[in-house]
Amino acid sequence: MRDEGKRNVLGVLVDVVDYDGAVSRVVAAAHRVEPLTVTALAVHGVMTGVLDRQHRQRLNHFGLITPDGQPVRWALNLLHRVALRQRVYGPELMLRVCERAEVEGLAIYLYGSTPEMLGNLATLLVAQFPLLKIAGTRCSFFRPMSEEECENVVQAVQASGARIVFVGLGCPRQEVFVHEMGPRFALPTLAVGAAFAFHSGASTMAPQWMQNRGLEWLYRLWHEPRRLWQRYLLLNPLYLALVAGQRLRLIRFATTNSRVPKAEPLWG
């Protein structure tokens, strides 16, 4: 098990952690009924923090950021010589946390997406983990939430008896949501990206050989070119160039920001 703290990747503090270390952190917080904000960042998630200083500050207040994409793991190894052998992929992390939650009797809560997807997700999770307790679900508002709505969500989660909350809203909305709402839930709260779509059967994952070689982006681009072409064809080369600049010490990336993130409508 590895859980060796945070390292600077383009100014975003990513944890040197493997699956066992990440799952152990989440389960420990669940047993203690205490907040832990978690997200799994691929290149797009890291670059969102690079290009938006206020969002970078949010990310750097997360309790745990796992290297979701192979290029993020490679950057950790290149920049900090940590020899991390595998990424910690959000969809896989969700399943491993659910597996432990089933064994240890920790109920989960599913937040985000549509009623249909949540229904399919809950059904398929219970089929895979028959003793898993799903304390509740709440679909996305798909718009900014009022303070009253935020408070209603907090009360619903706390009253459900859940000990772990999974959030699927898409990057970066889900990270903003977890940053703001996770401490209010007072529970480990995980932004798990496309996990809801994958595990509900709404979308398919890239073949394992593509995942292992850092080519998952190509698979997703092939399936959703109009939505994702800018993300991958513009941000991926920029990411590689910036990582090279950090490695060669041509560019320095600050992990702190004196500006407090401005209050913005919270999308849920």
Q: Report the pLDDT value the prediction gives residue 201, as an integer from 0 to 100.
A: 81
Question: Mind listing the pLDDT tens digit for each residue in 75-104?
Answer: 999 999 999 999 999 999 999 999 999 999
The pTM assigned to this predicted structure is 0.93
SS3 21: helix
CA distance 156 to 185: 10
Of 50, 38, 82, nearest in space to 177 by CA: 38
pLDDT band at 203 (very low <50, low <70, confident <90, very high): confident
Q: How confident is the model over 129-159, as pLDDT tens digits?
A: 999 999 999 999 999 999 999 999 999 999 9
Q: Assess contact for 67 and 87: CB atoms under 8 A.
A: yes
- Look up residue 157 and give its DSSP letter: H
**Per-residue pLDDT at 230 exceeds 90:** no
Residue 258 CA to residue 80 CA, distance in Å, equals 25
Q: Is the bond into 172 cis (omega within 30 degrees of 0)?
A: yes
pLDDT, average across residues 170-185? 95
Q: What's the rounded mean pLDDT across residues 19-35?
A: 98
